[in-house]
Structure 1
Amino acid sequence: MRLHYSDHFVLPLPEGHRFPMRKYRDLHDALARSLPDARFVEAPAASPGELALAHAPSFVDAVLHGHLDAAQQREIGFPWSAQMAERSRRSVGATIAAARAALREGVSANLAGGTHHAGAESGSGFCVFNDVAVAARLMQAEVHRQARRLLRVAVIDLDVHQGNGTAAIFADDPTVWTLSLHGQHNFPFRKVAGDDDVALPDGCGDDDYLAALEAALARLWARHAEALPGLVFYNAGADVHEGDRLGRLRLSDAGVAERDRRVYAALRERGIPVAVCMGGGYGKDLARTVAVQRRTLELAWDDWRARGAVVDPTGDPAERR
């Protein structure tokens, strides 16, 4: 299984900034130990043309060339720097690469990504570009060009924060279904309606969360009874965990793992490829956040193997039997 990373592009954030930049390197290192047979692939940078599939060209230009004004930078939550622009391009590139690999191999992942607050003309909430939106539209274009068929896409967003940017970008697009389970009283405080939004109360624990997830997945399959999605993007936020500073939900380690198992199993049973993004995670103890995200990727590895994937010793892409 291919794991795409860009953790060596680090933002020069001020002292005390609450964004846990270090978690990406820690996650990479932890997975290198626990999944030594996985293929770690440095993320390419998304091109301006690729970014413009989901974003206004003027916004893309402002990010890449440092023209964001002070208000735009405050909304994003990062000061502009060349490193910020490059990391944002690489994060999108990682999800593009993961989506391509998933279509070939069944399962792949970006060790960051899930930047679901970014809209077509602005960033927000630590999200500059919307990696899933760009990758979804690019995969649709590539599949249409190569196979002359429509690629239906679903986004299963289980980050604790509602995916308002993704919902807005695909609001009028019937080929992309957006599902979000999120904290009712959490950021963003003005939600943007997606295709299926499930708002959960503060303190929601394992049993209630998993019941809500099962019901939402049942609606997803019912909605697509005649034509299943050909690709799913899974935003597997760790910020639903009980130890998260910003999450306000109360899922245990076992509860988050069971969430992931159920998503992977449902997709595997239906033969749907999945590109995994890590989304948020802001634990009081950063090591616990990394452990939760590591387990999400270990379960993705198990799913990849359960689909009949084999490791190609020549270094060529693995193939599903």
Structure 2
Amino acid sequence: MSQALPPLIYHPCYSELALPERHRYPIGKYRALQQALLAIGVPAAHFTEAPAALPADLSCIHASHYVEALCSGTLDAKAMRRIGFPWSEQLISRSLQSIGGTLHTAELALAQGLAVHLSGGYHHAFHDFGSGFCLFNDLAFTAKTLKQRGVGPVLIFDLDVHQGDGTALLLANEPEIITASIHCEKNFPARKQHSDWDIGVATNCSEHEYLETVQQSLDSLLTWYRPELVLYDAGVDVHKNDDLGLLSISTATIAQRDQLVLESCRAKHIPVAAVIGGGYQRDLAALTAVHLQLFKAAFNVFGSSLGREIKT
């Protein structure tokens, strides 16, 4: 395994989910992203498959009756519609695999300074219900699990275009876990929750204003809380071409955003576990190109020349 690359966590099951034709969720993006990284020279052996989470593990954040109903396929149809996926054993197995993947990403980040998960960011899952394509909340689960192991403070820095409402409510009474969300104010969810740090940007927000908001927020949070780990949700649904985004952020600005987040944390010697978060362009190649900006930034700050192989 190349020592010039940060750990990359991936499992083939992330894209192995049968969905109805024209379903809104771009399930193929995980495989497409891994294939794109292989194409620029990332060795296949460098991708790590994490242990899947067990349903019992999720009791630290989710209600046992919800987890049991979801895993057994007995959750009522209305609740499944709120999640947005048809139930299948495949759906449950990939969800548990992804939850385990984010936790393992954090473990590797603590050991090596930076790690990136080719999934994750399921921030709309609440204590006893799921929403917005999110069954289980990997960010809250990872932060709570690490807290139980004595790691803290942990900062969840969420830059997905949609507010991390489930994360905010799940962790509202956890002073050692700081929730921060910079999102589009006039977008899903209609009812926002209260994170420790919330900024809802306007739909006409300029790219300069957006980057300035990200930089000032991160600088303040790192200074005030001095976290031992940052969980970074690098959602790309802020992109101007995203079907669900409503913002006007370019690929170049997303590249700058990811670079400044990773560099700011590295300058303060704070480990970062990054997840790719949301992105909903139907053009899979275009969507993959935007998600790749996180890896470009990660390779750059890790000192790998492969960052130059990714176009902005």
TM over 0.5: yes
Residue 54 of structure 1 aligns with which residue?
61
Shift of 1:211: 1.2
Residue 33 of structure 2 aligns with which residue?
27
Give the alignment partner of residue 17 of structure 1, picking from 18, 23, 26.
23
CA displacement 1:268-305 (0-9 Å, x = unmatched)? 01111111111100114221211111121121122233
What does 1:113-192 correspond to in 2, within 5 Å?
113-142=120-149, 144=150, 150-192=151-193
What does 1:193-208 correspond to in 2, within 5 Å?
193-208=194-209
Q: Does structure 2 retain, via aligned residues, the 8 Å contact 1:283–1:289?
A: yes
Residue 317 of structure 1 aligns with which residue?
none
What does 1:280-319 correspond to in 2, within 5 Å?
280-305=278-303
Give the alignment partner of residue 8 of structure 1, picking from 13, 16, 24.
13
Shift of 1:214: 1.8
CA displacement 1:41-63 (0-9 Å, x = unmatched)? 12321012321121111111112
Q: Does structure 2 retain, via aligned residues, the 8 Å contact 1:43–1:93?
A: yes
In 1, Cα distance between equivalents of 2:247 and 2:76:
34
Shift of 1:222: 3.9
Shift of 1:221: 2.9
In 2, Cα distance between equivalents of 1:94 and 1:108:
11
Residue 223 of structure 1 aligns with which residue?
224
In 1, Cα distance between equivalents of 2:241 and 2:201:
17
Look up the equivalent residue of 1:128 and give its one-letter code. Answer: L
Q: Does structure 2 retain, via aligned residues, the 8 Å contact 1:257–1:295?
A: yes
CA displacement 1:5-43 (0-9 Å, x = unmatched)? 134352221111110001111001001122424710123
In 2, Cα distance between equivalents of 1:32 and 1:121:
38
Moved beyond 3 Å, runs of 4+? none
Give the alignment partner of residue 91 of structure 1, picking from 78, 95, 98.
98
SS at match of 2:155: strand
1:265 equivalent to 2:251? Answer no
SS at match of 1:305: coil
In 2, Cα distance between equivalents of 1:286 and 1:103:
32
Give the alignment partner of residue 105 of structure 1, picking from 77, 94, 112.
112
Shift of 1:69: 0.6
In 2, Cα distance between equivalents of 1:276 and 1:109:
5
Give the alignment partner of residue 240 of structure 1, picking from 238, 241, 244.
238
In 1, Cα distance between equivalents of 2:61 and 2:191:
21
Look up the equivalent residue of 1:235 and give its one-letter code. Answer: D
Residue 307 of structure 2 aligns with which residue?
none
Q: Does structure 2 retain, via aligned residues, the 8 Å contact 1:243–1:285?
A: no
More displaced stretch, 186-195 vs 57-66: 57-66
Shift of 1:252: 0.9
Look up the equivalent residue of 1:16 and give its one-letter code. Answer: R
Structure 2 unmatched runs, 5+: 1-5, 305-312
Q: Does structure 1 retain, via aligned residues, the 8 Å contact 2:152–2:227?
A: yes
Residue 312 of structure 1 aligns with which residue?
none
Q: Does structure 1 retain, via aligned residues, the 8 Å contact 2:126–2:169?
A: yes
Cα RMSD after superposing both structures = 1.4
More displaced stretch, 43-52 vs 121-130: 43-52
Query: What number of residue pairs does the alignment pair up?
Result: 297
